[in-house]
Amino acid sequence: MKVEQLFTGCLAEMAYYIESNGEAAIVDPLRETEPYLRMAEADGAKIKYIFLTHFHADFVSGQYDLAQKTGAKIIFGPNATAEYDIYNGTDGEEFPLGDGKITLLHTPGHTMESSSYLITNEEGNSPYVLTGDCLFIGDVGRPDLAVKSGTITEKDLAGFLFESLRNKIMTLPDDIIVYPNHGAGSACGKNMSSETFDTLGNQKKTNYALRADMTKEEFIEEVTSGLKPPPPYFPNNVRMNKSINTSIDTILHKGTTPLDPVTFKELSEKKDILVIDTRSKEAYAEEGTVPGAWYIGVDGNFAPWVGAIVPDINQKIIFISDDELRVNEIVTRFSRVGYDNTLGYLNGGIKDWLAHGFGVDKIGSVSANKFVDLLAEGAIEKPVDVRKESEYLSEHVIGVENFPLDFIHTNFAEIDTSKEYFLHCKTGYRSLIAASIFMANGVEKVTDVRGGFEDIIETKAPISDFVCPTTML
C-alpha cells in the first residue's frame, strides 16, 4: 500500500494520497484537483474515496470538484452536514481500499465531526494513523473554532478532545506513525512542531497534551489558554467547505486572463477592484508598482496573508506577477483560501506598464545599518515594527513602536498620513505588505528596512529586554 504525505508549505497543510491495487483515496485535498488526478493516473488507479478529517477553517478543500471529476465518494465522520452529497461514516467503520482498508475513528474535539483514519495495509498491519486536527506533532487542534453559542463551548470541545485522544488515539501501538493535517505555521494549533510526522510513542513522551498523568481539567485548562483570535477568513472558509463553490476550472480560466496595460490600468482605477503585486521583494521595492497596489509576494505565506488582510472574500482582484509561468499557481493559491474572484494579470508585467508611460508608486528602502544610524540621530519621525505583539514583546528596538500587520485595517486610524514612516518586520516580507497598504491609504513617505529585525540585531541598535506580558499589568 502506498501512503504519501503531500505537504503544502504556504498553508502548512498535509493532504494524503493512499493507493492499493488500483484503488486510491485522497485525504483532505486542497482546492485544486490536478495533482491528485495525475497521481492516480500514474498508478493506473481509480480514486474511490475522498476522506475529510473535518470541515477545515484555514483553507477551502477540493472534495466537491474532485468527486465531480472522479465519481469518488466523499466521506466525513458523524455529525457532518453539507450542501453536497456526503457519506457520514460511523466510529469504527471500515472502508476497503484495494487489498487494504481504512478505518474511521471518530475523534471529536477540534470540531464535532472530526475523525481520524487508521490505515491497514495488505499484510493486515496498521502502520499509520491520519489524525487530522485532533493530534498534531507537538500539539493538538484548537478547540475554539467550532464553538456554537448557546450549545457548545470551547471547554466542552476540549473535554471531547481529551476523551478522543485518550480513548481512540493513545490506545494505538506506540510505533504507529502519526500523520497530522498541519505543521508549524498553521493557525489551527498554537505550538506545532516543524516535523510532519512522528511515532505515537515519541509524542506520548514529548507532546504536552499527551502527558500520562494529566487530568481532564488540566488538559482543558492548557489547551484553551493562550489562544490568539483566529484569522478573520476562517469562518468564511468553513462556510465554503460546507457549500458547492465555483469550480476550480472556472476560477482558473477567468483568473489567468492576460490584461494589457491599458485595460489593467482602467480596471485598477475602479473602486471595487484591488491590485495585488505578487512579485519578489526586490522587484517590488526596486521597480515600484501600479498605483494603489498591495504587495503580497507569492514567495511567502501568500494565501494566509491574503486571508488575513483582504477583508472581503469576494473581492475582485487583478494581479502582477514577474513570471507568466506562475500565473496559474497564483490564481490557485488565491482560491485555496476562497478568494475566487481573480479577473486576470498584467500582461507583460511592470516592463510593459512602464513602456506605456504609466507611472508607478515606489516605497523607500534602507539597510538595517542606515536605519539604526538615522534612528540614533533622531532623524526618523515614525519608526514602526509590524511584527506580532508577542514577537515585539520578546525583543525589539528601543524607540520603535509596535503596529502589527495582522490588525492593520482595524488600527489604521492611528496612522498620521502626513508623517514619514520607517517599517520593519522580521525578514522584510510583512513590512513590504504593510508599506504597500500604508501607501495605498495615502501615506506619502514610507520606507522599508531591508532584512528586518534579523539584520537589525546584527547592528549596534539598542534592543529591549524581554517583557513578560503579565508584568505589564
Task: Using CB under 5 A, list all residues that contact Fe ion.
Answer: 133, 188
CA 246 centroid distance within chain: 20
Complex with Fe ion: residue 146 or 368, whichever CB lies closer:
146
Please say which residue, 133 or 455, places its beta carbon nearer to Fe ion. 133
Query: Least separation, in Å, of the C-beta of 301 and Fe ion?
Result: 17
DSSP, res 289: B
Confirm if 261 and 358 have CB atoms less than 8 A apart.
Answer: yes
**Residue closer to Fe ion, measured from CB, 52 or 210:** 52
Beta carbon of residue 256, minimum distance to Fe ion (angstroms, whole number): 29
Return the number of the residue (12 or 40) whose C-beta is nearest Fe ion.
Answer: 12
In the complex, minimum distance from the CB of residue 112 to Fe ion, in angstroms, rounded to a whole number: 12
Rounded least distance, CB 237 to Fe ion, Å:
10
Q: Which of 64, 51, 74, 22 is nearest to 129 (CA)?
A: 51
Q: Among 302, 272, 141, 128, which residue's Cα sits nearest to residue 200?
A: 128
Residue placing its CB nearer to Fe ion in the complex, 12 or 327 = 12
Main-chain dihedrals φ then ψ at residue 76, nearest 5 degrees: -120, 170
**How many CA atoms, within 13 angstroms, populate the side-chain half-sphere of residue 232?**
14
Q: Is the distance from CB of 235 to CB of 147 less than 8 angstroms?
A: no
Write down the least CB distance from residue 154 to Fe ion, Å: 14
The helix or strand, by DSSP H or E, that contains position 316, with its residue range, turns out to be: strand 316-320
| Residue placing its CB nearer to Fe ion in the complex, 51 or 264 | 51
CA distance between the termini of the chain: 56
* Closer residue to Fe ion (CB): 13 or 19: 13
**Grid coordinates of 142:** 484548537
The CA distance from 462 to 464, in Å, is: 7
Strand pairing partners for 421?
Answer: 382, 446
Closest to 312 measured CA to CA, from 334, 291, 329, 280: 334
Task: Return d(Cα 23, Cα 1) in angstroms, integer.
Answer: 10
Q: How far is the CB of 155 from Fe ion (least distance, A)?
A: 18
Find the shortest distance in angstroms from Cβ 54 to Fe ion: 6
**11 Cβ partners below 8 Å, 6+ apart?**
30, 58, 59, 186, 303, 304, 336, 337
- The residue number whose beta carbon is nearest to Fe ion equals 133
Residue whose CB is less far from Fe ion, 89 or 141: 141
Closest distance of CB 146 from Fe ion, Å: 9
Q: Give the nearer residue to Fe ion in terms of CB position, either 55 or 438.
A: 55
As measured in angstroms, the least distance from the Cβ of 36 to Fe ion is 20
Q: What share of the chain is helix, strand, coil (3-state, %, to 5)?
A: 35, 25, 45
CA pair distance 235, 242, nearest whole angstrom = 11
